[in-house]
Structure 1
Amino acid sequence: MGFDDDAQTSGVAGPAQPTRTPEEPPSTEDAEVYDDDALAAALSEESVRLGYSGPISIIRPDPRPEPQQPAGLSGSMTSAPAPRPPEPVRPPEPAPTSQIPLADLPAPTGPPVALPPIPPPTEFAVAPPVVLPPPPHRESLPDAELVRGFDGQAVAEGSTANAMKTLEQQLRLRADEASAYRDWESRMLAIGTPEAIRSVEAARPGFAGVLTPDEGFLEFLEAAKGSDQPVDAAPTSGPYDLVEPSPTGRAPMEVVAAAPTWSSIVPSAADYPHPAETKSTEVPLLDSALGPLGTDSQPVSGPLYDVEPEDDVDETDRVPSDATGPFAVTLSGVAIAQPGAAVGPITPLETPRTSPAETVIPHEERQAPRAFAVEPFGVEPTAVDQRVGRAARLFWLWFSANSSVLSLAFGGILISLGVSLRQAIVAAFVGVAISFLPLGLGTLAGKWSGQPTMVASRATFGHVGNVLPAVLAVITRLFWGAVLLWLLAASTARILVGAGLGGPFSERQVALLAMALGFLIALVVAYFGYGLFARIQLGLSIVSALLIAGLVALTWTSVDITKALTIGDGPWILVVTGVVLVFSFVGLIWANSSADLARYQRPGTSGAASMLLAPFGTTLAPFLLIAYGAVLAASNPTTASGLARTPIDTIVALLPAWYPIPLLAATTLSLLSGVILSIYSGGFAVQATGLRVLRPWATVIVGALLFAIAMLLSYTVTDVAPLFRDVATTLAVPVAAWAGIFAAEMLIRRRRFDTGSLLARGGVYPAVNWVNLSMLVVATAIGLGFTSATVGWLGWEGYLFGATGVPLTSELGGTDIGVLIALALGVLTPLVSGVPTVRRQERARA
Structure 2
Amino acid sequence: MKVERRTIEHIPHHERHGKARDLFPVWFGANMHITTLVTGTLPVTMGLDLLWSIAAIIIGTFIGAIFMASHSAQGPQLGIPQMIQSRAQFGVIGAILPLFLVMFIYLGFFASSTILAAGTLSSYVPIPASWCIIGLSAICFLLTIYGHDLIHKMQKILSWTSFAVFFAATILIFQLPIPSGSWVPGSLDLPVFLVAVSAVATWQLAYAPYVADYSRYLPVKTPASHTFWYSYAGTSVSSIWMMLLGAILTTALPEFTANAGNEIVRLFGPFSFIMLIIVLFGQMAINVFNLYGAFMSTTTTLEPFLKLKVTPKTRVVMILCVTAAGTVLSLLGQSNFMELFLNFIFFISYFLIPWTAINLVDYYFIRRGKYHVKSMFDVNGQYGRINWITAAAFVLSIILEIPFINTSFYIGPLAEIFGGGDIAWIVGLAVPSLLYYFLMKSRLKHKEAPSI
Q: Same fold (TM over 0.5)?
A: yes
Q: How many residues align structurally?
A: 446
Q: Which amino acid aligns with 2:144?
A: A
Distance in 2 (CA, whole Å) between partners of 1:447 and 1:837 is 27
Work out which structure has the larger RCO, using CA pairs closer than 8 Å and 6 or more positions apart in sequence. Answer: 2
Structure 2 unmatched runs, 5+: none
C-alpha contact (below 8 Å) 1:730/1:787 kept by paired residues: no
Q: Which amino acid aligns with 1:456?
A: Q
Q: Which amino acid aligns with 2:96?
A: V
C-alpha contact (below 8 Å) 1:682/1:699 kept by paired residues: no
Q: Does 1:833 align with 2:439?
A: yes
Q: Aligned-pair distance for 1:840?
A: 4.2
Residue aligning to 2:371? 753
Q: Aligned-pair distance for 1:518?
A: 2.2
Relative to structure 1, the CA distance from residue 842 to residue 421 in structure 2 (aligned partners, 3 Å threshold; closer, same or farther) is farther
Q: Which amino acid aligns with 1:650?
A: E
Q: Aligned-pair distance for 1:842?
A: 5.5
Residue aligning to 2:19? 390
Q: Does 1:742 align with 2:348?
A: no
5 Å-filtered alignment, 1:699-718, equals: 700-718=317-335
Residue aligning to 1:727? 344
Residue aligning to 2:189? 571
Structure-2-length-normalised TM-score: 0.90
Distance in 1 (CA, whole Å) between partners of 2:21 and 2:229 is 10
Distance in 1 (CA, whole Å) between partners of 2:136 and 2:60 is 30
C-alpha contact (below 8 Å) 2:3/2:146 kept by paired residues: yes
Deviations 1:629-676 (A, max 9, x none): 323444x3xx1x3233332343345x1421321221232212111110
Residue aligning to 1:405? 34
Relative to structure 1, the CA distance from residue 707 to residue 547 in structure 2 (aligned partners, 3 Å threshold; closer, same or farther) is farther
Structure ID, larger Rg = 1
C-alpha contact (below 8 Å) 1:486/1:710 kept by paired residues: no
Distance in 1 (CA, whole Å) between partners of 2:250 and 2:118 is 25
Q: 1:548 aligns with which of 166, 185, 206?
A: 166
Q: Which amino acid aligns with 1:398?
A: W
Residue aligning to 1:822? 428
Distance in 1 (CA, whole Å) between partners of 2:108 and 2:213 is 18
Q: Does 1:812 align with 2:429?
A: no
Q: Which amino acid aligns with 2:243?
A: I
Q: Does 1:525 align with 2:143?
A: yes
Relative to structure 1, the CA distance from residue 513 to residue 405 in structure 2 (aligned partners, 3 Å threshold; closer, same or farther) is same
5 Å-filtered alignment, 1:616-635, equals: 616-634=233-251
Distance in 1 (CA, whole Å) between partners of 2:142 and 2:175 is 41
Q: Is the partner of 2:9 in helix, strand or coil?
A: coil
C-alpha contact (below 8 Å) 2:114/2:330 kept by paired residues: no
Q: Aligned-pair distance for 1:412?
A: 3.1
Q: Aligned-pair distance for 1:481?
A: 1.6
Q: Aligned-pair distance for 1:715?
A: 4.5
Residue aligning to 1:602? 219
Q: Aligned-pair distance for 1:566?
A: 3.5
Distance in 1 (CA, whole Å) between partners of 2:32 and 2:426 is 25
Distance in 2 (CA, whole Å) between partners of 1:685 and 1:477 is 9
Q: Does 1:762 align with 2:380?
A: yes
Distance in 1 (CA, whole Å) between partners of 2:249 and 2:116 is 21
Residue aligning to 2:94? 465
Distance in 2 (CA, whole Å) between partners of 1:454 and 1:375 is 19
Distance in 2 (CA, whole Å) between partners of 1:660 and 1:590 is 30
5 Å-filtered alignment, 1:667-686, equals: 667-686=279-298
Residue aligning to 2:153? 535
Q: 1:421 aligns with which of 25, 29, 50?
A: 50
Q: Which amino acid aligns with 1:557?
A: Q
Relative to structure 1, the CA distance from residue 610 to residue 460 in structure 2 (aligned partners, 3 Å threshold; closer, same or farther) is same
Q: 1:515 aligns with which of 133, 143, 146?
A: 133
Residue aligning to 2:73? 444
Q: Does 1:373 align with 2:23?
A: no
C-alpha contact (below 8 Å) 1:486/1:515 kept by paired residues: yes
Q: Does 1:493 align with 2:110?
A: no
Structure 1 unmatched runs, 5+: 1-371, 497-501
C-alpha contact (below 8 Å) 1:751/1:842 kept by paired residues: no
Deviations 1:479-521 (A, max 9, x none): 2122222222122212x1xxxxx2xx34x2xx34433332222
Relative to structure 1, the CA distance from residue 725 to residue 844 in structure 2 (aligned partners, 3 Å threshold; closer, same or farther) is closer
Q: Is the partner of 1:557 in helix, strand or coil?
A: coil
Q: What is the RMSD computed on CA atoms of the aligned residues?
A: 2.5
Q: Aligned-pair distance for 1:828?
A: 2.6
The percent identity for this pair of structures is 20
5 Å-filtered alignment, 1:629-644, equals: 629-634=246-251, 636=252, 639=253, 641-644=254-257
Deviations 1:257-308 (A, max 9, x none): xxxxxxxxxxxxxxxxxxxxxxxxxxxxxxxxxxxxxxxxxxxxxxxxxxxx
From the two aligned structures, give the one with the greater helix fraction.
Answer: 2
Distance in 1 (CA, whole Å) between partners of 2:431 and 2:228 is 23
Structure-1-length-normalised TM-score: 0.50
Residue aligning to 1:589? 206
